[in-house]
Amino acid sequence: MRILVVLLVATSVAAVDLDWWKTALVYQIYPRSFMDSNNDGIGDLNGITSKLPYLHATGVDAIWLSPINVSPMYDFGYDITDYRDIAPEYGTMADFDNLMKRAKQLGIRVLLDFVPNHTSNESDWFNRSIRREAGYVDYYVWSDGLKDENGDRIPPSNWVSTFRKSAWEWNSAREQYYLHQFVIGQPDLNYRSARLQQEMKDVLSFWLDKGVSGFRVDAVNRLYEANPDNYGGRYPDEPLSGNPDTNADDYDHYNHIYTSDLDETYDVVYDWRDLLDKYIHTHGEYKMMMTEAYADVHSMIRYYGTDTRNGSIPFNFSFLGEITKSSTAWDIKTAIDKWMTHMPTGKTANWVNGNHDNSRMATRDGVERVDAMNLLALILPGVAITYQGEEIGMTDGELSWEETVDPQACNTDDPINYVKKSRDPCRTPFHWDSSDHAGFTRGRSTWLPVAANYKDVNVHNQLIAKKSHYKFYKDVGRARRRNAVKYGDLDTRALSEDVLVVTRLLPGEPGIVAIINLSDQVRHVDLSTLRLLPTNLIVIASGVDCSLEKGAGQLKQNVHMTAHCALLLQTREKCC
């Protein structure tokens, strides 16, 4: 009997480990800007380790680290020289192991950024490919190019880099062009090479063996480009987009039908999922995989898998791409419903308010909507991804042309309009307190300037304030762990242009209801049409603009919502 009890407990623990990801709160850390431990002005692994207690107290289930591998940093880590080692400015492998150990002690899982589309042009693989060493000849996408009417050498096609200008670069040593869909220093890997595909699986295995809980996969829809064998030995030109605000050097000047979202991509993702699934049995933990693809919803949904093959969790960028300061409750409901409608039955949703490539949520959607957008991301079903600083309402920093380092901005050659392309404003250092450099470093300078509002918007201030974005975020995070939020049915209703209501109801459990008032006027919200929702409610999380405090009782027929209030309530009685 004693042995049976032990087995049952072990089985229960295993089941929890296999399901952890389905409702995970994942916190994205941009290591360079999170916390500097050695005062060189650059964030590092030991800095992250020192702040794990903060993340634990915040209620984070897992952290996702933007690239920490060895890199010349032309694109700040997304140009990798060695997939199996740590960038010196971030620390050592011993520092990483210590971070993993401490995170495990606190119950925080670690996810890594996997950058499979390209390496650095300083990579050993690339240099071997240049020399045409056996096994490495076709690791990258190479081409002889074409001749123009004068007999001069020109690139193989009109393909343009995301960072502007030709995506082809001549290499004089190999005497061929190589493809780079991003900066010149990021040559594209060739997934038509079976050996290269195995190499990338070995990279995943290396980090899985070190105990990471999964990966965020960068730019996954760029893995394949058109096969010249299907086009008479040539790379086909991409058609024009018709965008009048672009020129031939701009990425948006073309429709990228030959360089993104090709069918072969999905099989590679499914193969990676197969590899990760093997670790479920050896490590007793589900290994998470989230894929980044800025694509139409139908292309993105395919990453979930097929009837016979498992896939990834494709990032849902509807909040990023479709919600703005002027969005109505109807607009937000439409964005939510679109993903939930297209997502295959039995799959897991996810909600992304921001990341290191886009203007910060508080800037994009407005400071007065910080609590509303955080509430939605955390209360909707599935995975919630928070970009560092969203929990305190950090806004974009301001940088001069001279301070700009992002290649996407620098490649514009435009000291006036560079800010439209720059990702630097959303990457400025984290605000810990109101001391010099926002407590990010004790050094003399920071790699990017700290945002000007750090003395007001920082963790310390929000911890001591009676109400704050951070305290609201934590309260919603606690509610997120309740059964109604983890497993309950979802209902979203735009009661008007200004009022959005989200309910999570599970039989036998108290119901959870989120109400958002987008207007600058008081609203008295009547929830009578929600027939399954019990009448008596109690406030469990109150945004900074709400007059109602935690613990306040309300009747569903008349919930008092002050301007820009985001409110989370629980029913006093069990539901349904």
pLDDT value at residue 305: 98
Mean pLDDT of 480-508: 98
Local confidence band at 16 (pLDDT 50, 70, 90 cut-offs): very low
Local confidence band at 10 (pLDDT 50, 70, 90 cut-offs): very low
pLDDT value at residue 17: 76
Contact 95, 45 (CB under 8 A): yes
Q: Which helix (H) or strand (E) holds 64?
A: strand 62-65
> Would you give the DSSP letter of residue 287?
P
pLDDT value at residue 249: 95
Mean pLDDT of 34-59: 98
pLDDT value at residue 413: 74
- Provide DSSP, 392-460: GT-------TTT---HHHHTT--TTTGGGT--GGGSSPP---SSGGGGS-SSS--SSPPPTTTTTSSHH
Reduced to 3 states, what is the DSSP secondary structure of residue 82?
Answer: strand
Tokens of 549: 């405090």
Mean pLDDT of 529-550: 97
For residue 210, how far is the Cα from the chain centroid? 22
pLDDT value at residue 576: 83
278 bridge partner residues: none
- 9-18, 134-143, 255-264, 444-453: which has the minimum mean pLDDT? 9-18
pLDDT, tens digit, 9 for 90 and up, residues 394-436: 999 999 989 999 999 888 877 777 888 899 999 999 999 999 9
pLDDT, tens digit, 9 for 90 and up, residues 442-465: 999 999 999 999 999 999 999 999
pLDDT value at residue 200: 98
pLDDT value at residue 6: 35
Q: Residue 346: which residues within 8 A CB-CB, separation 6 or more?
A: none
Assess whether pLDDT exceeds 50 at residue 366: yes
pLDDT, tens digit, 9 for 90 and up, residues 57-100: 999 999 999 999 999 999 999 999 999 999 999 999 999 999 99
For residue 206, the number of C-alpha atoms closer than 13 Å in the C-beta half-sphere is 15
Phi, psi (degrees; rounded to nearest 5) at 503 = -115, 145
Reduced to 3 states, what is the DSSP secondary structure of residue 176?
Answer: strand
pLDDT value at residue 454: 98
Q: How far apart are CA 36 and CA 65, in angstroms?
A: 15
pLDDT, tens digit, 9 for 90 and up, residues 178-199: 999 999 999 999 999 999 999 9
Q: State which of 278-287, 312-321, 398-407 shows the largest mean pLDDT.
A: 312-321
Assess whether pLDDT exceeds 60 at residue 12: no
CA distance to 380, 517, 518, 564, per residue, from 366 (Å): 21, 14, 11, 11
Mean pLDDT of 224-228: 98
> Would you give the DSSP letter of residue 305?
B
Q: How far apart are CA 102 and CA 253, in angstroms?
A: 48
Positive/negative CA dihedral, 323, 326, 332, 338: negative
Tokens of 362: 């508080």
Local confidence band at 281 (pLDDT 50, 70, 90 cut-offs): confident
Contact 420, 392 (CB under 8 A): no
Catalytically active residues are 218, 292
For residue 104, the number of C-alpha atoms closer than 13 Å in the C-beta half-sphere is 12
**Interstrand relation of 142-143 and 146-147 (parallel, antiparallel or unpaired):** unpaired
pLDDT value at residue 415: 78
Positive/negative CA dihedral, 497, 499, 500, 506: negative
Q: How far apart are CA 317 and CA 299, in angstroms?
A: 13
Domain ranges of the chain: 489-574
Reduced to 3 states, what is the DSSP secondary structure of residue 382?
Answer: coil
Q: How far apart are CA 239 and CA 252, in angstroms?
A: 11
pLDDT value at residue 2: 39
Q: Which residue has the tokens 């509303």?
A: 372
Q: Which helix (H) or strand (E) holds 410?
A: helix 407-410
> Would you give the DSSP letter of residue 295?
S
pLDDT value at residue 412: 82
Assess whether pLDDT exceeds 80 at residue 508: yes
If you classify domain 489-574 with CATH, what class do you get?
mainly beta
Largest CA distance in the chain: 87
Q: State which of 7-11, 387-391, 419-423 shows the largest mean pLDDT.
A: 387-391
> Would you give the DSSP letter of residue 467?
S
Q: Residue 198: which residues within 8 A CB-CB, separation 6 or more?
A: none
Assess whether pLDDT exceeds 70 at residue 473: yes
Tokens of 54: 């903060």
Instruction: Give buried/exposed letters for 453-465 (b at 16+ CB in 10 A, else e).
Output: bbeebbbbbbeee
> Would you give the DSSP letter of residue 393?
T
Q: Residue 427: which residues within 8 A CB-CB, separation 6 or more?
A: 30, 32, 33, 76, 356, 406, 448
Contact 484, 514 (CB under 8 A): no
pLDDT value at residue 418: 86
**Interstrand relation of 109-114 and 214-217 (parallel, antiparallel or unpaired):** parallel
Task: Round to the nearest angstrom and report the end-to-end CA distance of the chain.
Answer: 38
CA distance to 30, 32, 44, 85, 381, per residue, from 67 (Å): 8, 10, 11, 11, 28
Q: In terms of Cα–Cα distance, which of 521, 525, 519 is closest to 539? A: 525
Q: How far apart are CA 390 and CA 181, in angstroms?
A: 30
Reduced to 3 states, what is the DSSP secondary structure of residue 351?
Answer: strand
